Amino acid sequence: MARAAEQFTFSETPRLDAELLMAHALGTTRDEMLLRGLIDTPAPPAFAELAARRAAHEPIAYILGKRDFWTIELQVGPGALVPRADSETLIEAAVDHFKGTPGPARVLDLGTGPGTLLLAALAEWPQAAGLGVDSSSRALTWAWRNVASLGMSGRARFVLGDWAARIADSFDLILANPPYIGTAEPLPAEVREHEPASALFAGADGLDAYRAIVPHLPRLLAPGGVAILEIGWTQADTVTALVETQGLAATLRRDLAGHPRAILAA
């Protein structure tokens, strides 16, 4: 396992990557592997193939077929954006916004991917129901799998669409993690070569998705509702201006590292 970790020089967590792959090869979790002292077990044959995939810069989440997000475990794979811990900032912001209330009854997730934000919100508010929209049928295949595995089939539905263009209902909570990377911006190989470009890039300046989404927010927001948009760390001023142009108040939310991460529009 140590030799495998040495191959993952591109990763910020090479040892963790190797441990996760080892646990997967052993058919257990990393926590259980460490608890039972299995970390020094001779690597099973499957481990070498898993390590080779990681050495080729394939995302760990794709290799394992899953990723934890907020309080849920999501199935993910090719065609779906890998959920990032930074995106949990949006759910945290929503929890703060609805503190002291019953919470949102209707949730909309624009660019839902494998259902990440919508299903995390529905797990947080069991009384809520919601709609996820994505332009990728491959991503929505993963979303439907996650609805089934999480037992939310009666509460969540997904549609293939172009952001909010065909959505006529109103919502108490609108979430969006749209693509916000400029087409010429550099990215790690594991992202650029494996994750869907449509979920990453949004024109030369990375702002095309916000220009498409923000004008719809006033008609989509129910009274007392909030829209929470994930942003790149340099985009706070521009997205704030787009939101305010629509007559909405904009509030910046930072992630745990202190970086600008989301704009709340209400």
Residue 37 lies in a domain: yes
Residue 12 has pLDDT above 90, yes or no: yes
Assess whether 52 and 82 both reside in one domain: no
**Distance from C-alpha of 199 to C-alpha of 21, rounded to nearest angstrom:** 26
pLDDT in tens, 181-227: 999 999 999 999 999 999 999 999 999 999 999 999 999 999 999 99
Residue 62 lies in a domain: no
* Residue 202 φ then ψ, to 5°: -140, 60
Assess whether 123 and 155 both reside in one domain: yes
Residue 71 lies in a domain: no
**Distance from C-alpha of 251 to C-alpha of 154, rounded to nearest angstrom:** 33
Assess whether 37 and 139 both reside in one domain: no
Assess whether 89 and 211 both reside in one domain: yes
Residue 41 has pLDDT above 90, yes or no: no
Give the pLDDT confidence score for residue 1 in this predicted structure.
Answer: 79
Span 228-243, average pLDDT = 98
Instruction: For residue 224, give the H/E element and its range.
Output: strand 221-230
Assess whether 160 and 256 both reside in one domain: yes
Assess whether 94 and 164 both reside in one domain: yes
Residue 212 lies in a domain: yes
> Do 147 and 115 contact (CB within 8 A), yes or no?
yes
Three-state DSSP class for residue 106: strand
* Residue 78 φ then ψ, to 5°: -50, 135
- In the chain, what percentage of residues exceed pLDDT 90? 95
Residue 67 lies in a domain: no
Assess whether 52 and 104 both reside in one domain: no
Assess whether 174 and 209 both reside in one domain: yes
pLDDT in tens, 109-143: 999 999 999 999 999 999 999 999 999 999 999 99
Residue 105 has pLDDT above 90, yes or no: yes
Residue 73 lies in a domain: no
Assess whether 47 and 134 both reside in one domain: no
- What single-letter amino acid sits at 125? W
Confidence of residue 106 (pLDDT cuts 50, 70, 90): very high
Residue 66 lies in a domain: no
Domain interval for residue 51:
2-56
- Tally of domains in the chain: 2
**Distance from C-alpha of 70 to C-alpha of 140, rounded to nearest angstrom:** 20
Give the pLDDT confidence score for residue 40 in this predicted structure.
Answer: 82
Give the pLDDT confidence score for residue 147 in this predicted structure.
Answer: 98
pLDDT in tens, 19-40: 999 999 999 999 999 999 998 8
Pick from 20, 62, 26: nearest CA to 42? 26
Assess whether 51 and 89 both reside in one domain: no
Give the pLDDT confidence score for residue 213 in this predicted structure.
Answer: 98
Residue 173 has pLDDT above 90, yes or no: yes
Confidence of residue 2 (pLDDT cuts 50, 70, 90): confident
Q: Angle at Cα 84 formed by Cα 131 and Cα 185, nearest 5°?
A: 105
**Distance from C-alpha of 215 to C-alpha of 13, rounded to nearest angstrom:** 40
CATH number at residue 131: 3.40.50.150
